[in-house]
Structure 1
């Protein structure tokens, strides 16, 4: 499996509009963070987790010419706002795009993108096929996904385990029972928003402590804000098996 981190930034991205901090002014490409998303290439299939506002830019940058499905973690705009751009794949692949998500998430998509689901099928709108999921494992084009239930403050969110890879973003709590689903993963991608505690995201210290408990072979941090600090300064402070993710990073699992 090859995993590409399409975006590793928080909801505002980095740089933040109107901010002149040293991170937002950095010329290091690793400090330029689009909204969080990941591309999985596994068993000949192309699957993306979340389609944020930067979806078009991300798939063009990585030259993702085919897409078999979209899987959503939750309904927040920084994870769904780019949905309209899947229509390019509709045109080139001549098929509707399967969208996997909890019933609550799919209902939110119906409201946010009402024109897709209205009775009047305007020419050129995205063509989608809604596929509701629960907490049970499910298959995406023959690829097995295990949902990992986490909390984003009070909002239930899904992370996912695919083989030896686990991806969790927008979380600040995971139960012991859900941790057991993650244990044994060789690679974990986990959110770490900033240095200070946050109401709905793991801080850097909290993320490191969780990863030290789970003990993957390798781990990468994502959903990073400008408040975490410069990539070149933060990464050397981390345990050897933990690295900061960055946009375009490719991970072999």
Structure 2
């Protein structure tokens, strides 16, 4: 059997304020360059005719229209900060008639918060209306999703927590300021890494670009994309200074990765789903 292919699309490479920042007159925000135009951080995994969303950013509608997305089959949530979940209502058009509800995954804390914050979606007693049909599932151990191996990776996000995800040879680590050893040990042998790199100056809840580069150097993936970029980062000015194999993520950018047909890309045994 020939290897299957995973396509990763960067839907948004920006931080919570997006870039350009409304009302800002800095050189990056006024540059007019597509590379400096960043919607809120999220990604799409496409595999075997299925689309798996990583986070439902506030810009989901815009991102879906831009990329021509016609179906979403599941969502992997990293955490519940507004810029990562407030596009959840824009999942409504992707509920295909006659098909099951869209499965949404996250930590126990994330699922509880989603169900509380968006009770109109999840509360069986809520008033009738046009809302997404979603089914919550806790991501506390490795699992398979449409045959794709998914490994949840606990991360530190300042004083809080966030989930990263390893999917075969690919890992997505957004909104993090530290990687616990238990997660670090699951990040060897990557083909591609997408990692939080907010800006150059220190930040309490995000990796700086220098910190993200140290992680990339230690893990040594073949390709690293820095994401969750603020308007401190100017693509034409800063991209050329990055080490070989490292680049600034761009909205709409895609990666194509081969998966081992025998399941060797699974970090460890996965439960069926």
**Of the candidates 132, 142, 147, which is equivalent to residue 142 of structure 1?**
147
Which residue of structure 1 aligns with residue 3 of structure 2? none
Q: Is residue 240 of structure 1 aligned with residue 244 of structure 2?
A: yes
Counting only pairs closer than 5 Å after superposition, residues 166-181 of structure 1 correspond to structure 2 as 166-181=171-186
**Native 8 Å contact 1:43 1:143 kept in 2:** no
* Counterpart position of 2:205: 200
| Offset, 1:26 | 1.2
- Distance in 1 (CA, whole Å) between partners of 2:31 and 2:255 is 24
Cα deviation, residue 153, structure 1: 0.4
Provide TM-score, normalisation by structure 2.
0.89
Flag the 1:102–1:18 CA change in 2: closer, same or farther, 3 A: same
Q: Which residue number in structure 2 is paired with residue 161 of structure 1? A: 166
Q: What's the CA shift for 1:80?
A: 0.3
Matched, 1:231 2:235: yes
In the alignment, what sits opposite 2:24? 19
Supply the distance in 2 between the matched residues of 1:100 and 1:147 (Cα, whole angstroms).
10
Over the aligned positions, Cα root-mean-square deviation in angstroms equals: 1.2
Output one character per residue of 1:25-65: Cα deviation in whole Å (capped at 9) or x when no partner.
11110100000000001233210100010001101111111
Structure 1 position 152 matched with structure 2 position 121: no
Alignment of 1:1-253 (within 5 A): 1-91=6-96, 94-118=99-123, 119-134=125-140, 136-228=141-233, 230-253=234-257
The number of residues matched between the two structures is 251
Deviates more, 1:97-106 or 1:110-119: 110-119
Measured against aligned partners, the alpha-carbon deviations of 1:117-141 in whole angstroms (never above 9, x if no partner) come to 230351311111111121x212222
- Contact residue 149 and residue 156 of structure 1 kept, 8 A: yes
Separation (CA, whole Å) in 2 of partners of 1:92 and 1:70: 18
Tell me: CA distance 1:224–1:93, structure 2 relative to 1, closer, same or farther (3 Å).
farther
Runs of 5+ consecutive residues of structure 2 not aligned to the other structure: 1-5, 258-273
Query: What CA distance in whole angstroms lies between the structure 1 residues aligned with 2:98 and 2:225?
Result: 33
Q: Secondary structure at the match of 1:158?
A: strand
| CA 1:197–1:71: 2 relative to 1, 3 Å | same
CA distance in 1, matches of 2:199, 2:142: 31
Return the offset for 1:111. 2.1
What secondary structure does 1:207 align onto? helix
Q: Please identify, of 195-204 and 89-98, the stretch whose mean Cα deviation from structure 2 is larger.
A: 89-98
Looking at structure 2, the residues matched to 128 and 175 of structure 1 have their Cα atoms a distance apart, in angstroms, of 31
**Greater share of helix:** 1
Conserved 8 A contact 2:196-2:228: yes
Q: Contact between 2:56 and 2:88, CA under 8 Å: does it hold in 1?
A: yes
